[in-house]
Amino acid sequence: MYFYDIIEKKRNKQHLSKEEIDFAVHAFVEGSVSKEQMSSLLMAIVLNGMTYEETLNLTLAMKNSSETLEFKEYLVDKHSTGGVSDSTTLILTPTLAALGVKVAKMSGRSLGFTGGTIDKLEVFEGYNANKTLEEFTGIINKINCSIISQTANLAYADKLIYDLRNKTATVDSIPLIASSIMSKKLASGAKFLVLNVHYGSGAFMQRKKDAIKLARVMVKIGNDSGVLTRACVSNMNVPLASGVGCTNEVISVVHAINGEQSNLLKLSKELCVIILCEVKKISSSVALKLVNETLHSGKTLAKLKELISEHGGKTEILDNINSVAKAKYKVNLTSKEQGYVKNIDARTVAKAVNHLKELNKDESTKKLVGVNLNVKVNTKVKPDDVLLEIFVNDKKHAEKVTDELYHAFRFSRFKTKEKKLIAKII
């Protein structure tokens, strides 16, 4: 078999067999195929697509390219395709664990403009996400949940291919995204998986119909591979909560757990309900009641404290969120308009926060920079009302992003019909 022929076949819109896909992935991991050749194959896949069978075979080839984990217990996992102020993991994990569901979560760091769970957990000083697999299972057995960094050893082919995709404009392709995500998820040994696939300006998938298509492919791959899989497709046009940037997102999580209404809380509850219905075989109304009780009774917060402590992190900020370390300066961005907020563009806000992080050269204080939204869609504003607060360690940095941030806002004389948060459950 020759790699050249495989590229040519895909370029000519033909289907690749399982043997050809296995050969291609194996040869690339082994180093017998150049990056140029693999890049050509990836581009041919982006342009000509893959059938479901090809996508499944690519997923399995990448999953089997390195070690895979097996757990005796029934473990639950959740994956988000990445969004803005998307911290559902930090609410869902302790809530489910408090309800007796074992959650084994391997998370990533920030990717592109989207935030990463591990970076947020490190706001809790001392949090160690690099536990061994023995320590990981030990913590799950003790407190029902653990969140560690995705190990590079799982789905090693995806790591190599993903690096190449990032450099060759071959990221946005449904078969490539589906196989990348699912190879890692199947390798990590969970028995039940819930996928949160976002669409909109703050997501990798801009269009709802593409997000639904991606969710359907991933759900089928999971179920066909013996992992019970469901998906929730949700709107990511506006940040899920008011805080954007690690510290501000953790503050939003604590407020949500303490009952402050936000799309972050709503989505976290929805994902918990999907999981509880499957795992405990109960109706969604019973599941929602359990979730609400767990949140309101303080059990979610108590479990989050246990989770942080077990990983060596300090938990004081969970008792008093005002004690969290903050950036040196808070600069207000004010409205020049009169009317109702019509939109707050998630991608624009996230990119501005990324620019703030880039400007803040000191690694140790990067987590402190970010923004906090003071308004939501349909908030009535007048000139000089504060739209958002910018947290920086150097006031000049705030000046550099104010125009950019202001462009995230759209105003209208009338109230806007709000878009649905949950588009589809699959």
Minimum Å gap between C-beta 176 and ligand URA is 6
Residue placing its CB nearer to ligand URA in the complex, 143 or 171 = 171
Binding-site member from 59, 85, 117, 180 for ligand URA (CB under 6 A): 180
Which span (172-180, 240-248, 305-313, 367-375) binds ligand URA, by CB under 6 A? 172-180
Q: Does 177 bind ligand URA (CB under 6 A)?
A: yes
Mapping DSSP onto H, E and C, the string for the chain reads CCHHHHHHHHHCCCCCCHHHHHHHHHHHHHCCCCHHHHHHHHHHHHHHCCCHHHHHHHHHHHHCCCCCCCCCCCCEEEEECCCCCCCHHHHHHHHHHHCCCCEEEEECCCECCECCHHHHHCCCCCCCCCCCHHHHHHHHHHHCEEEEECCCCCCHHHHHHHHHHHHCCCCCCHHHHHHHHHHHHHHCCCCEEEEEEEECCCCCECCHHHHHHHHHHHHHHHHHCCCEEEEEEEECCCCCCCEECHHHHHHHHHHHHCCCCCHHHHHHHHHHHHHHHHHHCCCHHHHHHHHHHHHHCCHHHHHHHHHHHHCCCCCHHHHCHHHCCCCCEEEEEECCCCEEEEEECHHHHHHHHHHHHHHCCCHHHHHHCEEEECCCCCCEECCCCEEEEEEECCHHHHHHHHHHHHCCEEEECCCCCCCCCEEEEC
Residue placing its CB nearer to ligand URA in the complex, 1 or 47 = 47
Which span (38-46, 176-184, 256-264, 269-277) binds ligand URA, by CB under 6 A? 176-184
Residue placing its CB nearer to ligand URA in the complex, 180 or 242 = 180
With CB under 6 A as the rule, give the number of residues binding ligand URA: 7
Q: Does 181 bind ligand URA (CB under 6 A)?
A: yes
Q: What are the residue numbers of the active site?
A: 79, 158, 165, 180, 184
Residue placing its CB nearer to ligand URA in the complex, 166 or 284 = 166
Q: Does 151 bind ligand URA (CB under 6 A)?
A: no
Q: Does 7 bind ligand URA (CB under 6 A)?
A: no
Q: Does 214 bind ligand URA (CB under 6 A)?
A: no
Residue placing its CB nearer to ligand URA in the complex, 181 or 341 = 181
Minimum Å gap between C-beta 81 and ligand URA is 6
Minimum Å gap between C-beta 112 and ligand URA is 9
Which span (31-39, 170-178, 220-228, 331-339) binds ligand URA, by CB under 6 A? 170-178
Minimum Å gap between C-beta 100 and ligand URA is 29
Minimum Å gap between C-beta 361 and ligand URA is 28
For the chain, give the number of residues: 426
Enumerate residues 67-126 that contact ligand URA by CB under 6 A: 81
Minimum Å gap between C-beta 116 and ligand URA is 11
Enumerate residues 402-421 that contact ligand URA by CB under 6 A: none
Residue placing its CB nearer to ligand URA in the complex, 95 or 173 = 173
Site residues for ligand URA per CB under 6 A = 81, 171, 176-177, 180-181, 204
